[in-house]
Amino acid sequence: MQLSDAILWYTGMKKNTINYLTTSVLIPLILSLQVLYNIYIRNRKKNKEKNKNKNKNKNKNRIITVFTSLIILYLFYRFNGYSRPLCSNKLSSPVWASKEIQLWELIVFATIIIYPNWNAIAYTVFIVFPLIFILSGGGYGSLWCAVANILAIYYLYKY
């Protein structure tokens, strides 16, 4: 995700083909892959560990498949357009598709990609998101990705 932001910054976030393709294709594609990975790979592994003796869970739940498809379609719909810079503070980040991400969208997305780790969901929703909203004037999705990268580096060295 940070590569997407770097591409946007490198091009100056001008209304051009690179901005449009990065915002409308690359960003929703990366976000969709996060959803797909959590639902069909990460949760499948956890369910296999729980049900070692049972062979029935193969993620063929149609409700989950329909829900996942709707989320992915929403991501491509939501991030269609051009990104613009938000230059009002030191933590300035791109506003994807020139429309700020709403808190409810962040909460739903966080829940989808962090589930079933309820402690991490609570920490993200009640500590990380409020801090991002307090410290910045926008670009919430991009900043959340930056925080996630910092935490990933921390955990890489911790474990």
Count of structural domains, the chain: 1
The parent domain of residue 98 ranges over: 2-158
Segment 92-134, tens digit of pLDDT: 678 888 888 888 998 899 889 888 889 989 988 898 888 888 8
Mean per-residue pLDDT, 144-152 = 78
Query: pTM value?
Result: 0.79
The residues near 142 (Cβ < 8 Å, ≥ 6 apart) are: 1, 5, 93, 94, 96
Segment 30-54, tens digit of pLDDT: 999 999 998 888 877 666 666 665 5
Tell me the two tokens of residue 65.
């498949």
Taking the C-alpha atoms of residue 79 and residue 83, their distance in angstroms, rounded to an integer, is 9
Phi, psi of 84 (to 5 degrees): -135, 155
Share of the chain above pLDDT 90, in %: 28
Share of the chain above pLDDT 70, in %: 86
